[in-house]
Amino acid sequence: MTSPVQAATALAFDEDYRIAGIESVMTPALVIYPEIVDANITATLRLLGNDPNRWRPHVKTAKLGMVMRMLVGRGVTNFKCATTLELRTACEAGAKDVLIAYALVGANARRVQELARLFPDRRISALVENAEQVKVWAGSDVSLFIDINGGMDRTGIEQDHIIEVVHLARVIREAGLVFRGLHYYDGHMSRYDLPEREAEAHRGYDRLMRIVAALDDAGIAIEEVITAGTPAFPCTISYPAFANAPFVHRASPGTVVYGDFTSAGQLPAEYGYHPAVVVVSTVVSHPVAGRITCDAGHKAVSADAGVPTCAVLGRPELQPDHPSEEHLPINVPPGAEIPAVGEHLYLVPRHVCPTVNNFDYALLVAGGRISGVERVTARGREVPVTL
């Protein structure tokens, strides 16, 4: 498999991306191509046997109510999110079932309960990993998933602690709450090449199925098992036991809706995904030979995944360097054409999710023309306190 950088920089800058009238746009600008978003949704559904019920996308990527409505329009109505603002946006967009996949306590948990009352026709769930967290949800209509640590060591009960999982499921039911099932996020699989990733992920899923069997032996029904963000997506759809399971299995990749240059290297090219988001930037300086600077620092294109923070669409020879807040230096190798000051560059982010979160507004481009402007609805967070 090609590296992420090779996969992204090899993409052609063709008419699907070119924007007429770009000279009127203030940069850096977040640009979304809805036609490519729709094609990426189609590709994901095809991989899931054209069954939208098997997809629970994490909408920390989508962020826009408009894009969530696109998903709902394609029959995808089960979502996952991380913040109360994302939860509210998903409910307003028509989602029927939303899991807030983040360990919540205190005021954050109370806000989720408020939203559950505000949207009584939506099914809202939360994660727990111990009995104290179950108490937080007592008396509410919020149902619960048990969070299983798939090896990332970020949250959840360790997979080998099967007795602990069974006990916690009993605690949930004894508290008068609904036990939905198991949530298993294996984001650390991104460190492996695909063949090793699949073998490692399947070993984890084997252990997960042992938890399912233990719950079944204890007479505790499991409605749903959730696995896999984007890196493990190929592994979860190839795991045979999920295909005909006695529970609903849902995969939760979110990055695939927009794509970025990391996912371009993680997913097989034959899946047919294409970047649906770019950051349009302007060259603002040519400080020394072989180096230019554009206006897409880490306040525009997120640097959380490392350097390079992006790839220049259609210009694989250009090498983005370490950004500062507003500046992105780019090295130009000897013999390569140097972009002129004032020229626009189309940047494919390394990590699209936090990049989208950097912008208040997104330009929509269809047929090479700007077709609209949309607010990034779920950017940031809700007001932290009501006075």
Segment 143-165 mean pLDDT: 96
- Are 363 and 29 in contact, with CB atoms under 8 Å apart? yes
Distance CA 26, CA 200 (A): 46
The whole-number average pLDDT for the span 357-362 is: 98
d(CA 265, CA 262): 6
Say whether 100 sits in a helix, a strand or coil.
strand
Please indicate, yes or no, whether residues 132 and 17 belong to a single structural domain of this protein: no
Query: Does residue 272 register a pLDDT over 90?
Result: yes
Domain identity same for 63 and 211: yes
CATH classification at residue 350: 2.40.37.20
pLDDT tops 80 at residue 157: yes
Give the confidence band of 158 by pLDDT, cuts at 50, 70, 90: very high
Please report the pLDDT score of residue 4 as a whole number. 44
Distance CA 245, CA 54 (A): 12
Structural Rg of the chain based on CA atoms: 22
pLDDT by residue (tens digit) across 61-99? Answer: 999 999 999 999 999 999 999 999 999 999 999 999 999
Q: Can you give the pLDDT at residue 12? A: 54
User: Are 64 and 103 in the same domain?
Assistant: yes
Copy the structure tokens of residue 97. Answer: 């079932």
pLDDT of 117 over the 90 cut: yes
Match 């045979």 to its residue by tokens. Answer: 240
Give me the half-sphere count of Cα atoms (radius 13 Å) on the Cβ side of residue 336. 17
Same-domain pairing of 93 and 172: yes
**pTM of structure:** 0.95
What is the reported pLDDT for 244? 87
Q: Write down the pLDDT at residue 63.
A: 98
Residue 335 and residue 367 share a domain: yes
Is residue 60's pLDDT more than 90?
Answer: yes
Same domain, 309 and 208: no
Decide if 36 is inside a domain: no
In whole angstroms, what is the distance from residue 252 CA to residue 235 CA? 12
Both 62 and 11 in one domain: the answer is no
The tens digit of pLDDT for each residue in 212-256 reads 999 999 999 999 999 999 999 999 999 999 998 999 999 999 999
Q: Give the whole-number percent of the chain exceeding pLDDT 90.
A: 91
Going from the C-alpha of 1 to that of each of 16, 74, 192, 253, 374, the distances in angstroms are 25, 31, 11, 20, 36
Taken as a whole, the chain contains a residue count of 387
Rounded distance, CA 5 to CA 364, Å?
Answer: 25
Average pLDDT of the chain is 94
What percent helix, strand, coil does the chain show, rounded to 5? Answer: 35, 25, 45
| Three-class SS state of 149 | strand
Shared-domain flag, residues 83 and 219: yes
Domain count along the chain: 2
110: CB partners within 8 A, 6+ apart: none
> Is it the case that residue 9 has pLDDT exceeding 50?
no
* pLDDT exceeds cutoff 80 at 8: no
DSSP string, 253-271: --GGGT--HHHHHHS-GGG
- Domain range enclosing 222: 56-252
